[in-house]
Amino acid sequence: MHKKTLAQLSAALQAKEISSVELTQEFLARAKQFNEQTNAYITITEDLALQQAKEADARIAAGNTQALTGIPLAHKDIFCTDGIKTSCGSKMLDSFIAPYNATVIEKFNAAGAICLGKANMDEFAMGSSNENSFYGVVKNPWDLNCVPGGSSGGSAAVVAARMAAAATGTDTGGSIRQPASFCGISGIKPTYGRVSRYGMIAYASSLDQGGPMAQSAEDLAMMLEVMAGFDPKDSTSAQKDVPQYSAAMNDSLEGVKIGLPKEYFGEGLDAEVATVVETAIEEYKKLGVEFAEVSLPNTHLSVPAYYVVAPAECSSNLSRFDGARFGHRCEDPKDLEDMYKRSRGEGFGEEVTRRILVGTYALSAGYYDAYYLKAQKTRRLISDDFKKAFADVDLILGPTAPTTAFGIGSKTDDPISMYLSDIYTIAVNLAGIPAMSIPAGMAGGKPVGLQLIGNYFDEAKLLNAAHKYQQVTDWHQQMPEGF
């Protein structure tokens, strides 16, 4: 059953071909079997999962079900989960037991979904490789010597190895799409404000967005219908109705116009990755899609703008972790200043410390105008680039990442090289628009992701385009050997 999609599992549960308890036990067994190899889970919540599965079976028996009732999922360990450790991949929160549920968790609980556990991640979502976790490196199921991408690398690895039917992730600068690309799964970053951030531990508040990760676009549509929607607890939540995404999945692509940004196909793009993307473009042409070249001239500024805006916001958000109210506190502090310094010094890892320092510097007196204000102006230029492009095309297509998954440790001594692995994803977060990654082929035995970008709240168009592609290809059905 672990190879089936969410739609297939849902149908099997409704037809009583399998119970939720049996399905949950199968995924729990796989989680335990493969977690030692992948390190994808921080916490496996077996007791909670089996209790929820029994309740789901009762709901199914009573005919009180939704599409995801009884289906086992994993949640990125950034979503507060009542009574369960919510660590954000950090020593700072290693002992933190969340006293409430994030809105996303509440929505899945209400839908009758099962929580198998909390997926590993880069500390406080800061990273592109999942090497920054306090709980150790997550390994890519396609090649255990390679990274799964980050920061949602645990969620991506869990889905790729079928240790859960699907998973939640968050995307601040590509952290759903890049791991989806590296691990050969599908993932979507919705429009900023489409999914509530309440109870999702903040990294960069104007960029963070939760979203689903799964085998297929059809699975993503099912999950997004549950996750999305206005939340009065989140002041940045969009007051817009949630469409039935799955209803438009089979719309024809005849006459749909997709833009190809010339900036995404130049220097820095691996030749084998480029070939996979070009092959995908030919498949889309067979489906009736028209292509046109577009320009996003400020793409080259997205990485420097992001690495001012995001650290500035993280330095503010993470100031709450001071040892006073919750989280790690140092032993026997001499005074308040000593407690602050040592608690933060001991609790935060190297990458988080680096970004706090950069952000604090950018916001300091005399540097705010030179760095932070300029980065925000650059952000507007990047957003305007997309607006101009979408005046002529329906969607934008390109590679998700410039390479396939790289070796563990190969970029840890070169932060700039690591940051550039997000070159094609970061601009989307700065603009606040939706984008997704779907599997499109292999290069050197490792998956390659195809990125589709849409205009504000055009998730339905993205899912439709992805689904039609997946109906004529089988890359999303491929599984890593040994799993």
151 a catalytic residue? yes
Indicate left, alpha or beta for 131 from its phi (over 0: left) and psi (-120 to 50: alpha). Answer: alpha
What confidence score (pLDDT) does residue 418 get?
A: 85
133 a catalytic residue? no
Going by pLDDT thresholds of 50, 70 and 90, the confidence category of residue 413 is confident
Catalytic residue among 152, 175, 315, 343: 175
Residue 454 has pLDDT above 90, yes or no: yes
Catalytic residue among 76, 107, 189, 468: 76
Residue 419 has pLDDT above 90, yes or no: no
pTM of the full structure: 0.97
Amino acid at 141: P
Residue 366 has pLDDT above 90, yes or no: no
Sheet holding 446-454, edge to edge: 41-44, 114-119, 72-76, 166-170, 210-214, 186-189, 435-443, 446-454, 395-399, 257-261, 290-294
Mean pLDDT along residues 339-350: 96
Residue 430 has pLDDT above 90, yes or no: yes
What confidence score (pLDDT) does residue 256 get?
A: 97
Cross-strand bridge partners of residue 211: 169
Say if residues 191 and 457 touch (Cβ distance below 8 Å).
Answer: yes
What confidence score (pLDDT) does residue 45 get?
A: 98
What confidence score (pLDDT) does residue 417 get?
A: 82
What confidence score (pLDDT) does residue 169 get?
A: 98
Catalytic residue among 10, 151, 237, 421: 151
Residue 18 has pLDDT above 90, yes or no: yes
Q: What is the pLDDT of residues 230-272, one digit of tens each?
A: 999 999 999 999 999 999 899 999 999 999 999 999 888 999 9
Q: What is the pLDDT of residues 70-118, one digit of tens each?
A: 999 999 999 999 999 999 999 999 999 999 999 999 999 999 999 999 9
Q: In the chain, what percentage of residues exceed pLDDT 70?
A: 100
What confidence score (pLDDT) does residue 420 get?
A: 82
What confidence score (pLDDT) does residue 412 get?
A: 86
Say if residues 81 and 75 touch (Cβ distance below 8 Å).
Answer: yes
Mean pLDDT along residues 418-444: 95
Q: What is the pLDDT of residues 212-224, one digit of tens each?
A: 999 999 999 999 9
| Number of Cβ within a 10 Å radius of residue 222 | 24
Mean pLDDT along residues 380-402: 98
Task: Report all structural domains of the chain as residue ranges with CATH numbers, in order of start.
Answer: 6-254 (3.90.1300.10)
Residue 159 has pLDDT above 90, yes or no: yes
Residue 1 has pLDDT above 90, yes or no: no
Q: What is the mean pLDDT of the chain?
A: 96
